[in-house]
Amino acid sequence: MNELLRRLFLKPWLAGEIFIATFFINLLFLASPIYVIQILSRYIPYGFDGTLVTLTTGMVVAMTLLFAFTVIRNRLSAAVSLEPDQELSLRSLAILARGRSQALLSIPQNVLHEVMSLPQAIQPAFDAIRINTVVDMPFCLLFLLATMILSPLLALITFFSILCSVLASWMSMNKARDAAMALQQEVVAHRGLVASAVVGAETVRAFRGGDFLRRTWDVQMNRLAFLRKSSSDQRDLSQGVLQGIGGVLRVGIYAVGAKLVVNGDMSVGALIGASILASKALQISSSYMQTCHMLAKAQRELSRLNEFFSLPLENQTGTALREYTGRVSLKDLSFVYPGATGPLFESFNLELEPGSIASVLGFNGAGKSTLCKLAVGLMDPSRGHVLIDGINMRQLAPDWWRQQVSYLPQEPTFLTATMRENIILAAPDIDGAKLNEVVRASGLRRFLDASKNGLETVLVEGGRNLPLGVRKRLALARALAVGGKLAVLDEPTEGLDAEGCAAVYGVMNNMAKQGTTIIVVTQDSNILKGVSVVIDLTQKPVPKIDRNPQVTPQQDRDKS
């Protein structure tokens, strides 16, 4: 409820217009019972057609105004949540785009997908219908008061029915909350299983994982069916109770009202009018409690979103050097993953002069890719500093810094967009000639010429439908489009054929001629021949640094 009221009063003038429209809508609704009372009390006993025409004309005018105010209020209420809903979506995207890698990596993928869908799940709780229901609630007293004017006894019956409705809805909300949380957890777990089955479809077939998957699937589906049935039964019971209360109210109104009519304490028209007013009051209170249930669920989801929003972000401000030379310095660098038994490395000191070529060696899990991410600025060291031309990387503007680094990750991923859009992602102003040169240098030209749409080919599912070699070439083209003075290449020739490897060699040779500082993770002997510094992460916890080394892949494997 707090969030709905906050949204409502973000624009006080808009809230004022909604309240004014609501006042007239509820006031004009009184025309209906008044019309019935007057018809039965004044026209039928006397049969004067002028009275019928006057009353009917007034009713038509009232209903026309009611319709107009209802349309106006719906449009005003729909505008209330436009900006807040957009803000939630943009904040979620900002966390995904600017969140610290360590924080995002701590969230399972299926949970992250579910959290990113929360802004859309929350929206129905704050739509125009829910806002209108909340602002209508105070006018429940208006209809109770009008009923009391007609008959205090019938107003008391209506009031008691509303209390029963509120109590039943409150009890139902408490039971539904626990069931909804259990169902949500099970849905998230099932989505994780589905995602792993889709991504690992070949694994399921190749290693006979179908039986295991089926057993797990059956357990989850049975659990989901049970939770959904429990939730549905609870919802049906709640709706049945509310409908029963409404029915009892009508019976009570007419039973007691009929006795009052017979005793001469009430007219037939007043009885029917009281029934209309009582039903309206009960309908408002029931709708309000249903809205409270939706708002309570939305509040829980908002709490989850706020936890997500509290994740640390990269600083978007900072220093932008006039010119970056390519110098990289590591000072007392240490990195440890949360929950790990020890650091990947510590007391790591290294000075790379502009134009240096450094290779990173080590066994699987030694921290090679982590070191690359630290150099790019995607992760922060646990201790120590990464200096760029003597400036702490944390003080640099991230957008500026990313334009200085040509980064090729070991397992490249892409956005659902065209190849062209993925290549120029970090360099949207690249011209056609430079783009063609990037495509040629990365060895993509043959693939593009053979494809139907060339650079306009749309990638789906992060490019998983492309062969590994093509993904590598595409990632290389994306790195080259930046054209930075620092190149960080993580296993650049892994998964490439001879032609692809030759493209990488050519790119690295050009980078070396241009004085680009290169940090490369590789066991490729052709690349290792040209390195000037070897960073050996096999040695723990302080890496070994060799300058002017003679390293071969076989020697590296011996160390491992």
CA separation, residue 372 to residues 350, 360, 491 (Å): 14, 9, 11
If one counts the domains in the chain, the total is: 2
HEC states along 381-418?
CCEEEEEECCEEHHHECHHHHHCCEEEECCCCCCCCCE
Residues 214 and 354 grouped into a single domain = no
Residues 335 and 304 grouped into a single domain = no
Predicted confidence at residue 336, as pLDDT, reads 86
Dist. CA 170–CA 238, nearest whole Å: 10
Dist. CA 33–CA 64, nearest whole Å: 16
Residues 344 and 198 grouped into a single domain = no
Q: ∠ CA(506), CA(507), CA(511), 5° rounding?
A: 115
Residue 8 lies in a domain: no
Residue 177 lies in a domain: yes
- Residue 79 in tokens: 């505008």
Residues 302 and 353 grouped into a single domain = no
Dist. CA 168–CA 242, nearest whole Å: 8
- Residue 360 in tokens: 């990173």
What is the 8-class DSSP label of residue 336? -
Q: Which domain holds residue 379?
A: 328-559
Residues 51-66: what's their mean pLDDT? 86
Query: Residue 161: is its pLDDT beyond 80?
Result: yes
Q: What is the CATH number of the domain that holds 369?
A: 3.40.50.300
Q: What percent of the chain has pLDDT over 70?
A: 93
Residue 24 lies in a domain: no
Residue 189 lies in a domain: yes
Residues 175 and 293 grouped into a single domain = yes
Residue 358 lies in a domain: yes
Query: Residue 268: is its pLDDT beyond 90?
Result: no
Q: Name the residue among 288, 27, 253, 247 with its Cα closest to residue 155.
A: 253
Predicted confidence at residue 176, as pLDDT, reads 67
Dist. CA 351–CA 29, nearest whole Å: 80
Q: Which of 252, 279, 309 is the last residue of a domain?
A: 309
Start-to-end Cα distance in the chain: 60
Q: What is the CA radius of gyration of the chain?
A: 35
Residues 300 and 354 grouped into a single domain = no
Residue 546 lies in a domain: yes
Residue 123 and residue 81 in contact, taking contact as beta carbons nearer than 8 Å: yes
Residue 74 lies in a domain: no
Residues 245 and 288 grouped into a single domain = yes
| Per-residue pLDDT reduced to its tens digit, 424-436 | 888 888 888 888 8
Residues 346 and 463 grouped into a single domain = yes
Cβ neighbours of residue 551 closer than 8 Å, sequence gap 6 or more: 359, 361, 528, 531, 534
Q: What are phi and psi of 510, to 5 degrees?
A: -65, -40
Residues 347 and 299 grouped into a single domain = no
Residues 90 and 165 grouped into a single domain = yes
Predicted confidence at residue 21, as pLDDT, reads 92
Predicted confidence at residue 65, as pLDDT, reads 92
| Per-residue pLDDT reduced to its tens digit, 94-151 | 777 777 776 777 777 767 777 777 888 888 888 888 888 888 888 888 888 988 888 8
Average pLDDT over the chain, rounded to an integer: 82
Residue 199 lies in a domain: yes
DSSP track, 342-365: S-SEEEEEEEE-TT-EEEEE--TT
Residues 344 and 259 grouped into a single domain = no
Please report which confidence band the pLDDT of residue 205 belongs to, taking 50, 70 and 90 as the band edges.
Answer: low
Residue 164 and residue 245 in contact, taking contact as beta carbons nearer than 8 Å: yes
Residues 240 and 206 grouped into a single domain = yes
pTM (predicted TM-score):
0.69
Residues 449-474: what's their mean pLDDT? 82
Q: What is the CATH number of the domain that holds 90?
A: 1.20.1560.10
